[in-house]
Structures are given as C-alpha cells and as structure tokens.
Structure 1
Amino acid sequence: MNGKNRGERQYASEAMAKRRSDILETARLLLTEQEGQFTMRELAAKSGVALATLYNIFGNQKELIGQAVIEVLRGSLTSWTVSEDVSLPEQVERRLESVVNEIFRRPAYARKMAELYFLPDPEGVVADLLHSVSLEDVSQAIIRLAERNVLAEDSDPNLIAREMVVIQYAVIARWSAGKFPDEQLLIRLKHVTLGHLAGSLVPELAKDCRKRMSELRASLGDLD
C-alpha cells in the first residue's frame, strides 16, 4: 500500500472524485454489515456503478478495501507532534482525542473494525491494514522520542510501538463488546497508553505520565 495507489490518484473532475468517495463509504457500510466480507458485484449494485468501473478505479478488491480502511485512519486523525512546547502526556492525549472523535463519527464501523482486528483470518486483509497503518503512525512518534533521547536506555522503539497499537485496539474491542460505556472510552485509552509509555521513558517524563494517569484514574473510578 505504499505510494500513490490506483484508488488514491487525482481525478479530473469533482464528480469522479465524489464517485470514488461514495464507493468507499458504501464499502465501509458493507464491511460493517456483512462480517467484513462482500463481493465486488455486491458493492457495484449497492453503489449504483458498473462492476467494470470498480475494477477500473481500484484494480482489485483488496486494493479497494485497503483504500476504504486507510482513508478513515489517515484522513481524520491528528498525528503525534512530539513538540518541545507541549508536554508529552498532552501530545498523546490530543492524538487519542482525534482517534475517539473518529470512532464516534462511525461507531458501527469502528466496532466492526475492532472485532476484525482480533479475528483469526487466513486472508487478514482488514486486520493487516488496521495494524500496519496504526503502527506506521505510532512508530514515527516513538522514533522521534528516541531521537530526543527521552526513552529509557533499554527501550526498544519498535516493540513499544507494536505493543501500544495492540493495547489500544484491545481497549476499543472491549468498548465495542459493551464492557464499558461510551463516555469511558477516551479516558481508558489515555490511561493505558500513558501507562505503557511511562515504562519506557526517562524518569522525569515517566513521572509526568504517571501523574496524569492518576488524574485519569480518579476521574474514572476503579478500573477493571
């Protein structure tokens, strides 16, 4: 999925760009409604376009699903800035706030994506995309932290990023299963993310993260 793929190319008219957007929105609807599975023929019928049009725009079904998933992840989320002017806990929280805003913009879709992330699947197209795009974003932030020498000496940036992505999806999956109410999702995501990160930071920053964790825990009450 690197570079400019067929489904990401620039279009000559607004009408063509809108057609692409409508097709991807319909694909997300079908992913939500049909256990993550649909055929190109079903999508063509739902979208009101010819089957050949789908293949002309996207090339194949995996590419189309990839664009449907990636567009949500990359299009609306605030990246981690790793700025000297803003505390690390606040930077993490801002990014997670954008994640949760996007989740509640499409809650049914988000629930299905969380389910598919942990669902054993030999094809694994959606799960692989969710993981790789999320990991790409988190890894860049952790690498920037490493470049600023704020990670503990024995920390492994790649391992931190991989574990953080899985932990965050695990919280979202518990929310999607109804284990806690909507209003707790953001607080819980912030708490577990800062907790995981604190264990890999230099003492001063770890202390800041743990202080913020205590504040979050107090606002939430006892965590499960």
Structure 2
Amino acid sequence: MGLEPTEDHLNPVHVLQELENQLPDNAILIGDGGDFVATAAYVLRPRAPLTWLDPGAFGTLGVGAGFALGAKLVRPEASVWIVYGDGALGYSIMEYDTFIRHKIPIISIVGNDACWSQIARDQVPLLGSIVGCSLEFSNYDKIVESLGGIGFRLDRTNENEMINIFKQANEINQQHRKSVLINCLIGKTNFRQGSISV
C-alpha cells in the first residue's frame, strides 16, 4: 500500500525508501512538519540514539532549521538532514542564509506536493473545499541557490537520477561543506489514509 504510481509526480513513499538506502551512518534526521514528514517517520530509520529530532505531538512548524543548527554545532562531523513538508519549509527557508553565511552545512529534502495535505485530507471530505490548503509547486531549490547554496529539483523528468542526487547532495555537503536543498515534487498516495491531524 502506498507504492502505487501517483497521477502527476513522484511517489513520496518510494522517494523516502530510496533516501533511507542512501543515508550515511552518521546522519541526524530532523522532521519539520507535514504529511511528507509523517510518512518519513514510518520509512526513515534513525542511525543511533538521539539522531531523530522532530517537534513532537504538537507538530510545531518551523523548528527544523533551529534543530539542524543545534545538531550540526554539537556534532559537526554528522550529516544533518532536514525532512520538510512544503508548508513547513515556508516558516524557515530563509535560515538557509544563516547556514550559508556561518558555514554550517545542512541538507534538506522537501516533499513538495503544493498542499497542506495533512489538513486537506480531512477538510475536503468534511467541508467539500480545499480553501486555505492549496500551495504552489514553488522552486525552493532556486531560493537556496540565490542565497549561495546548492539546489536540486527532483521530479518525474529526472526520477532515474534520484539515487545519484542523494549521493551528490551528501558529497557536496560533507566534502565541500555546502548547504543543499532537494526540492522533490511528490504526488498523492493513500499511504496515510485515515490519519487524523488537528
């Protein structure tokens, strides 16, 4: 369940499974909001104790960048990955300026489905409206590039490069000490059908 092809973009479960296979042993994983992060909690495996950080039960959006800064400063040798939902990224994307200016290399992957999907999943059937839940397939990778970081866009046109992009992101981050963002366009699946968000 959840691995069926999506109508328009990449299957988020498949993306996260491929990421799981490429994450280094020294990875620290940080979840910052959204359906993509909730899916990641099922798929991504913390490498050791204290290597998965998230906002907890209240799902406070925007904490990912701060958690990443702290994790990287305490464990500078670690490969620090933030897993973002696209809505949550909006709260802290400008922290890439901080990462870059202070030479604190972080990697993030954004599950970009142009939607507040956790909310829309319940709102649309209950109220018959997507109002307030729609976003755009924004070019988050270009924002990071404009700040001096490295951006990748991952979608159906380069799906066969997914593993290589994950490897490149980690190499750029670890060997060249640069911050990286992977803007991953994802589609809808039934993987989290029945999940409740409040």
Check whether TM > 0.5.
no
Task: Flag the structure with larger Rg.
Answer: 1
Which structure dedicates a bigger proportion of its chain to strand? 2
Which structure dedicates a bigger proportion of its chain to helix? 1
- TM-score of the two chains, using structure 2 as the length reference: 0.29
